[in-house]
Amino acid sequence: MKKIDKIYEGKAKILYTTEDPDLLIQHFKDDATAFNAQKKGTIQEKGIMNNRISAKIFEYLGTQGISTHFVKMLSDRDMLIKKVTIVPIEVIVRNRAAGSMCRMLGVTEGFQLASPVLEFCYKNDGLGDPVINEYHIQALNLATDAEVKGISRMALAINGHLKKFFLKLNIELIDFKLEFGRYHGDIILADEISPDTCRLWEVGTGNKLDKDRFRRDLGNIEEAYQEVLRRVTS
């Protein structure tokens, strides 16, 4: 499968059309951004690592009955995916407080939540992806009621699967972001799942194995991504 036209370029990925109108190629770049793109940089070979990590996770979720856009890996940085219409909502699932939840609610980083928190953000870079609720989603026609119910159910199921998956690798899943797409009348999981979109803490040490190393200049960024890749593919 070959790339034909570039149809989208985001912060970390590029999408290309293919000869099959139902399929796209998702290309992973090394570019990294944080704080709504105010901080920019590159993480060496991040694209290669995130492509592999995402592929492994999508494959695993597929075995657990979660429909995803993943078709197959094509090369180091390219994966073949189903062409979806992205629902303009970022879905965040949290198991411990971190990041914006600490800033918003004044809780300490690492606070163990009594139950998972599901959060929706309006996917709009110009506005900095503001937090919204089901009423905003309905009122702005971002998704139907049935879609929101389906997305919520899938996001919580994915959390259960991923918590187990990472725990076996001695990694605790703190929080993560998902995006969903419409595909022939169904809602399927899209985008990527990687250390760019998850907070991953090593069990025991609490070592951060995710993009917080870049956000906060903690050093050993490449090594942390490499370590996640090593464990995920072990």
**Residue 150 sits in the site that holds ligand UDP (CB under 6 A):** no
Q: How many residues bind ligand UDP (CB under 6 A)?
A: 14
158-159-160-161 Cα dihedral, nearest 10 degrees: 50
Strands, E, within the chain: which ranges?
6-9, 13-17, 23-28, 31-34, 39-42, 70-73, 78-82, 85-86, 89-96, 112-122, 131-132, 171-183, 186-190, 198-202
**Residue 100 sits in the site that holds ligand UDP (CB under 6 A):** yes
Query: In angstroms, what is the minimal distance from the CB of 177 to ligand UDP?
Result: 3
Residues of span 191-220 touching ligand UDP by CB under 6 A: 197-199, 211
Residues of span 116-145 touching ligand UDP by CB under 6 A: 129
- Lay out the site mask for ligand UDP across 153-192 (x = CB under 6 A, - = otherwise): ----------------------xxx---------------
Query: In angstroms, what is the minimal distance from the CB of 21 to ligand UDP?
Result: 29
Query: In angstroms, what is the minimal distance from the CB of 57 to ligand UDP?
Result: 14
- Lay out the site mask for ligand UDP across 52-91 (x = CB under 6 A, - = otherwise): --------------------------------------x-
Please give the Cα distance from 64 to 82 (Å, whole number): 19
Q: Which CA distances in Å does 202 have to 94, 108, 142?
A: 16, 18, 36
Q: Which stretch binds ligand UDP (CB under 6 A): 47-55, 93-101, 136-144, 148-156?
A: 93-101
**Choice between 78 and 90, CB closer to ligand UDP:** 90
Nearest Cα to Cα of residue 61 among 182, 152, 190: 190
**H or E, element range at 177:** strand 171-183
Secondary structure letter of residue 108 according to DSSP: P
Please give the Cα distance from 61 to 192 (Å, whole number): 12
Query: In angstroms, what is the minimal distance from the CB of 170 to ligand UDP?
Result: 19
**Residue 98 sits in the site that holds ligand UDP (CB under 6 A):** yes
3-state class (DSSP) for residue 225: helix
**Choice between 18 and 96, CB closer to ligand UDP:** 96
Query: In angstroms, what is the minimal distance from the CB of 176 to ligand UDP?
Result: 5
Please give the Cα distance from 53 to 48 (Å, whole number): 9
Nearest Cα to Cα of residue 3 among 35, 27, 30, 38: 27
Q: Contact positions toward ligand UDP, by CB under 6 A? A: 90, 92, 98-101, 129, 175-177, 197-199, 211
